[in-house]
């Protein structure tokens, strides 16, 4: 038997960690309280031990001679992973307490951005009483959010005083430290920049844009795809200062990313950073168009390989011709999944990778992500054609036969952005 890897939790992205580790000849164990999950089903071994049962896990890890531990996109599970690895002296990419704190605290991240010249949205400083005096200078619309939550939890878009007060209360209720940010609402496209780190050296690996159907909620994105639009400007204005932010925070190894808005004023504004896997798990298809395997990179480190600067991928400095994206299947309404048909047909497509944790019989809430179809192709047109095929083949309905997931159909926007990215790098001429 080869080395043993323990993965904490069955959240998005962990299934790809298991698949990659097994390709590497690693014996993989997954633990959480789920009786079954797609991740546990393909693992070599599954434990029904909570990721919060630190003492039990430590005892079990010693007994089973586990060589390394990883978590997916869940901050909660990474926090537990950090404690276990530190106590057992196991490899830990996010070993810096400060880097981890900055990645979880939007306020501290904003402060570092201001220090290094990365634009952030203007803040409004309110007292907890929300007095008339503290509210009088607010220019709407604004965004209200807790400093310590990810995935848009506790966030509200507010157009007037009444909405702000309600949003503030909502953010306070979900925040662990009751520290709330109120800032100017940015208007424009949302982007995520992905970085790879080795021995303190940090390089931009790729860059994605977010897209949603026009009628979807502002904070729900059906499509995240690897883009080149505004990338030239990003490289010129944001990349190096943001790398300084990561270095100042203390990021030494592993991966990091940052979400940004490209505001209507023609500038990027940083929103937050992560020192972990990002939710959509686009890493699985990025490898198909770049050759760099992020999952393998993280597994190697967890099992004791000390990456050197020479191991880093070539920094992104030009447009991608090939295309890849993640199609998030958000629910249209609260329901029970009665039928899920066509998944086997989607799996037969030669350019898709699927992470589908929801199954027939599962209950789902409105605006919940049921699964992610990751797509790659020779260009944007092939990616769009594949999304259309997914919409045609995959049927997910409730007991009344009503469709449950939001179909993405705004292909013209994807094509336009793709072509604009190529123009900006002079890959194609202006039309």
Check if the beta carbon of residue 315 is closer than 8 Å to that of residue 203: yes
Residue 129 has pLDDT above 90, yes or no: no
Mean pLDDT within 357-385: 94
Select, from the ranges 109-113, 153-157, 216-220, the one with the highest average predicted confidence (pLDDT): 109-113
Same domain, 31 and 151: no
Same domain, 411 and 279: yes
Domain boundary among 92, 107, 130: 92
CATH code: domain of residue 75: 3.40.50.20
Residue 429 has pLDDT above 70, yes or no: no
Residue 332 has pLDDT above 80, yes or no: yes
Q: In whole angstroms, how far apart are CA 358 and each of 35, 36, 294, 396?
A: 14, 11, 25, 10
Residue 428 has pLDDT above 80, yes or no: no
Check if the beta carbon of residue 376 is closer than 8 Å to that of residue 351: yes
Containing structural domain, residue 413? 188-424
Confidence of residue 314 (pLDDT cuts 50, 70, 90): very high
C-alpha Rg value of the chain to the nearest Å: 22
Sign of the CA dihedral with 188 first, then 190, 196, and 197 last: positive
Q: In whole angstroms, how far apart are CA 252 and each of 100, 140, 283?
A: 11, 39, 20
DSSP string for 156-194? EEESSHHHHHHHHHHHHHH-SS--EEEEEPP-EEEEEEE
Return the C-alpha torsion angle 423, 424, 425, 430, nearest 10.
30
Helix, strand or coil for residue 198? strand
pLDDT at 177: 66
Q: In whole angstroms, how far apart are CA 421 and each of 139, 230, 285, 304, 326?
A: 33, 7, 19, 39, 19
DSSP string for 31-70? ESS-S--HHHHHSSEEE---TT-HHHHHHHHHHHT--EEE
Q: Whole-angstrom Cα distance, residue 167 to residue 153?
A: 11
* Predicted confidence (pLDDT) per residue in 189-209, tens digit: 999 999 999 999 999 999 999
Same domain, 244 and 260: yes
Residue 112 lies in a domain: no
Same domain, 177 and 206: no
Same domain, 129 and 238: no
Same domain, 199 and 311: yes
* Predicted confidence (pLDDT) per residue in 259-308, tens digit: 999 999 999 999 999 999 998 789 999 999 999 999 999 999 999 999 99
Same domain, 349 and 238: yes
Residue 216 has pLDDT above 70, yes or no: yes
* Predicted confidence (pLDDT) per residue in 161-179, tens digit: 888 888 888 888 877 766 7
Same domain, 145 and 87: no
Same domain, 209 and 302: yes
Check if the beta carbon of residue 297 is closer than 8 Å to that of residue 291: no
Same domain, 208 and 352: yes
Mean pLDDT within 56-73: 97
Q: Whole-angstrom Cα distance, residue 390 to residue 408?
A: 10
Instruction: Please give the tally of structural domains in the chain.
Output: 3
Same domain, 72 and 214: no
pLDDT at 183: 87
Reference 279, options 75, 92, 37, 34; nearest CA is 75
Residue 430 lies in a domain: no
CATH code: domain of residue 140: 3.30.1490.20
CB atoms within 10 A of CB 399: 10
Confidence of residue 126 (pLDDT cuts 50, 70, 90): confident
pLDDT at 430: 54
Residue 150 has pLDDT above 70, yes or no: no
Residue 115 lies in a domain: no
* Predicted confidence (pLDDT) per residue in 228-254, tens digit: 999 999 999 999 999 999 999 999 999
Mean pLDDT within 7-20: 91
Percent of the residues in the chain that have a pLDDT greater than 90, as a whole number: 76
Beta bridge partners of 79: none
Beta bridge partners of 221: none
Q: Whole-angstrom Cα distance, residue 242 to residue 116?
A: 7
Residue 373 has pLDDT above 70, yes or no: yes
pLDDT at 128: 67
Q: Whole-angstrom Cα distance, residue 251 to residue 359?
A: 37
- Between 215 and 15, the more confident residue is 15
The pLDDT mean for the chain works out to: 92
Reference 168, options 150, 187, 147; nearest CA is 147
Percent of the residues in the chain that have a pLDDT greater than 70, as a whole number: 97
Confidence of residue 151 (pLDDT cuts 50, 70, 90): low
């Amino acid at each position: 038997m080869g080395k043993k890897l323990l993965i904490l939790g069955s959240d998005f992205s962990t299934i790809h960690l298991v698949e990659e580790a097994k390709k590497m000849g690693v014996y993989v164990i997954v633990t959480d309280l789920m009786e079954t999950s797609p991740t546990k089903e393909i693992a070599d071994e599954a434990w029904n031990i909570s990721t919060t049962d630190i003492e039990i896990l430590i005892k079990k890890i010693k007994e089973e001679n586990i060589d390394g531990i990883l978590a997916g996109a869940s901050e909660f599970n990474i926090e537990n992973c950090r404690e276990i690895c530190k106590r057992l002296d196991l490899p830990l990419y996010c070993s810096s307490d400060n880097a981890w704190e900055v990645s979880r605290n939007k306020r501290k991240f904003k402060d570092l951005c201001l220090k290094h010249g990365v634009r952030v949205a203007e803040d409004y400083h309110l007292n907890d009483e929300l007095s008339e005096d503290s509210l009088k200078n607010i220019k709407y619309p604004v965004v209200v959010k807790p400093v310590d939550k990810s995935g848009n939890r506790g966030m509200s878009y507010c157009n007037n005083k009444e909405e702000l007060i309600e949003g503030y209360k909502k953010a306070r209720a979900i925040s662990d430290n009751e520290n709330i940010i109120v800032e100017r609402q940015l208007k424009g496209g949302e982007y995520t920049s992905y970085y790879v780190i080795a021995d303190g050296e940090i390089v931009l690996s790729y860059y994605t844009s977010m897209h949603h159907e026009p009628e979807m909620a502002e904070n729900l994105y059906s499509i995240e795809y690897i883009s080149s639009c505004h990338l030239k400007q990003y490289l010129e204005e944001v990349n190096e200062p943001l790398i300084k932010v990561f270095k100042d925070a203390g990021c030494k190894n592993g991966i990091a990313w940052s979400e940004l808005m490209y505001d209507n004023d023609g500038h990027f504004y940083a929103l937050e950073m992560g020192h972990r896997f990002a939710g959509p798990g686009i890493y699985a298809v990025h490898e198909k168009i770049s050759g760099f395997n992020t999952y393998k990179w993280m597994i190697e480190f967890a099992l004791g390989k000390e990456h050197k600067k020479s191991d880093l991928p070539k920094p992104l400095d030009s447009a991608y011709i090939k295309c890849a994206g993640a199609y998030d299947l958000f629910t249209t309404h609260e329901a029970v999944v009665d039928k899920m048909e066509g998944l086997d047909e989607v799996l037969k497509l030669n350019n898709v990778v699927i992470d589908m944790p929801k199954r027939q019989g599962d209950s789902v809430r409105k605006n919940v992500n049921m699964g992610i179809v990751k797509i790659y192709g020779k260009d944007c047109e092939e990616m769009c054609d594949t999304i259309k095929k997914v919409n045609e083949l995959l049927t997910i309905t409730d007991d009344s036969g009503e469709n449950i997931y939001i179909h993405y159909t705004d292909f013209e926007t994807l094509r336009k952005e793709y072509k604009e990215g190529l123009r900006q790098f002079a890959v194609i001429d202006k039309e």
